[in-house]
Structure 1
């Protein structure tokens, strides 16, 4: 193991929801010295058994309340299905408001967003929304370029392209329907709307989206009906400081070398990063998976400069998010120990959801959505 993590005092985690993403969190918590998982609430028996096998000494709980009120729990990870997040956070607030790492999206509707906006102001403990993409090493390196402006100058444009695989199978198939996920532009893309705000350091004022269901899940049938989640989209966002950002999403392009490509353009030059998808999906016959890159392209003197941004192999092997889940947990763990500050607040998480909901509505109606007034006003959070 080559991770460089300082020795820490013991922090005991309670887990609410432990499916595919929850188990990625378990693998990363296991890399933190002094951290342990003591309680797991996971209604699905198979997922619960798999999770317990990964966390020696942990116990299965049979309710959220059992986890939250257990004296051997110091903080909580909520990784349940999207549509459970708001109600579960409200239950936690009523029972015992512990520090929470809340998986994205924070919620899935305007009503739950308004409820959480009120909860945010009263909750006495830290809430960190899990926006893993901020902590991917190549994305973090690109963000440094954006904030320093050394090579780009003041930014004018931000473009994010994600070409990836379709949604994976989840327990109960809840991720096939907008009413459970919030819609693809909330469920998947809140990460990217968060990155836009984080990189540009400005608030969005208008969203326009064009999207459809072109290829994925068209032949699937469930008790809830035919899947209605979008599988491709363009989203354009105008920001208060005059900058513009664009998202290009395609969920039937898993043959690409890189899954995410992000570019920044300013008055002095351009900076880009290239991020491969999960290593477990890279075809073995092609050899080693691609190494993430950052490319700096100044206007003068002309000529791009490529920088490899390798990810620690231990962190890389612990999940599907380019090592970011581990780096996020390091920082959240420090907050629990009183040695750090929340970097992705509940307000950040709600802003990303609001942008996603506005994009879903724009795609539905064909109209741009104003984020300065009305139902989608950012001021309400």
Structure 2
């Protein structure tokens, strides 16, 4: 498969290696990125990267390829997606798909014009074996009707420090931490519930990565752990005195339009990290953890454990619990045969709208009703105009 890349950062640099392992003919025929942080890793791994271009338009005009991959900073996604769709290309974009409610509505209008079948999105956890098994258990009726969900995404201090040092520390580029990092998880549970979220509330802030908690205050001068993960564009060294405007902990409460409720918690300073969930249904419950690699399902009547699965990554260098490898296979299958994907651009927009509304609730200290947003979204998606109230 031949691809062209807009935004050759660490993420697409890693994904290029994964694609190459699965498809020996994979090559990047061109890229646009003034500071391609992912290029060295690709070249070291023997992935062909042929030509650099100054603009997406120049690259699209000069090259023939099967897929346009967008890995630029989040705030540039909408323009780069638009360029690809207008050129008649199949586009793969990294998450989050866009960074605001207004951009979500603009993208919905674009999808009305060009269709959503040519836009793929890297919400990679939908491809993970654990999540697929969770959905299979649900489809087999082992859970019954979903009633409530408790979920979390916690990351280790080295990873939290990365967010304080990278361009992702600025909400104007990312849309906020809940969107940048947790849109994966919100998308998963939107999929489990199968309905749109209706009301959200949220609380959070920054308490760990602050000057008072700098290790030097306790006589610890070893800062290696906080610089273990390299930063790219706009990278900085400051961690506990960072100029970041993102949170380092947050809790959200969500009610879906069918009454299902969910709590979601994230924290950037969890030494023994986990990414777990408990889905409680009328006939059973599913409990799992992507980091610790298990899925258990219990029957509500007998308390019998009816599913007991464990998972491990396919290799030491594998990211996202083996989901990247499955995503690469599925994307290749889509390009070659049009095979159905487990996540759509519409799923990604809906997860993004939820994340953005959670932050609106946190900042405004209020409960946000998403019904007006869904009304606007559907109008844009179907090319209709909202009726004006009298």
TM-score of the alignment, normalized to the shorter chain, above 0.5: yes
2:73 paired residue among 81, 98, 108:
81
Question: 317-326 vs 45-54, which deviates more?
Answer: 45-54
The structure richer in helix per residue is: 2
* Mean CA deviation greater in 65-74 or 85-94: 65-74
Alignment partner of 2:13: what SS?
helix
* Contact 2:30/2:50 (<8 A) preserved: yes
- State the alpha-carbon separation in 1 of the partners of residues 364 and 165 from structure 2: 30
TM-fit CA distance, 1:148: 2.6
Cα pair 2:84 2:91 within 8 Å, conserved:
no
Structure 1 residue runs of 5 or longer lacking an equivalent are 1-10, 277-289
Structure 2 residue matching 1:30: 3-state secondary structure: helix
- Which residue, out of 48, 61, 71, partners 2:63? 71
- In structure 2, what is the Cα distance between the partners aligned to 1:171 and 1:228? 9
Q: Which moved more, 1:231-240 or 1:360-369?
A: 231-240
Change (3 A) 1:255 1:317: same
Length-normalised TM-score, structure 2: 0.82
Gaps of 5+ in 2: 215-236, 382-390
Match in the other structure for 1:153: 144
Correspondence for 1:245: 262
Number of residue pairs the alignment of both structures matches: 349
Q: Is the 8 A contact 1:24 1:319 kept in 2?
A: no
* Alignment correspondent of 2:233: none
Give, in angstroms, the shift of residue 210 of structure 1. 1.1
Deviation at 1:378, TM superposition (A): 4.9
CA contact (8 A) 1:18 1:51 kept: no
- Equivalent-residue separation in structure 2 for 1:170 and 1:74 (angstroms): 33
Q: Paired residue for 1:202, among 195, 202, 221? A: 195
Quick one: structure 1 residues 39 and 127, their matched pair in 2 at CA, closer, same or farther if it must change by over 3 Å? same
**Is 1:235 the equivalent of 2:226?**
no
The alpha carbon displacement at 1:202 in A equals 0.9
| Change in 2 beyond 3 A, CA 1:217/1:345 | farther
Equivalent position SS for 2:27: strand
**Aligned-residue offset at 1:168:** 5.7
Q: Distance in 1 between matches of 2:35 and 2:11?
A: 14
CA distance in 2, matches of 1:236, 1:376: 22
Distance 1:375 1:139 in 2: 26
Task: Name the residue aligned to 1:280.
Answer: none
The whole-number CA distance in structure 1 between the counterparts of 2:114 and 2:136 is 31
Do 2:13 and 2:39's aligned partners in 1 also have CA atoms closer than 8 Å? no
Give the C-alpha shift of residue 377 in structure 1.
5.5
Cα deviation per residue 1:132-189 (whole Å; 9 max; x = unaligned)?
Answer: 111221122112222332x221110122112212446489831011111100111111
Tell me how far apart the structure 2 counterparts of residues 93 and 153 of structure 1 sit (CA, whole Å).
40
TM-score normalised by structure 1 residue count: 0.84
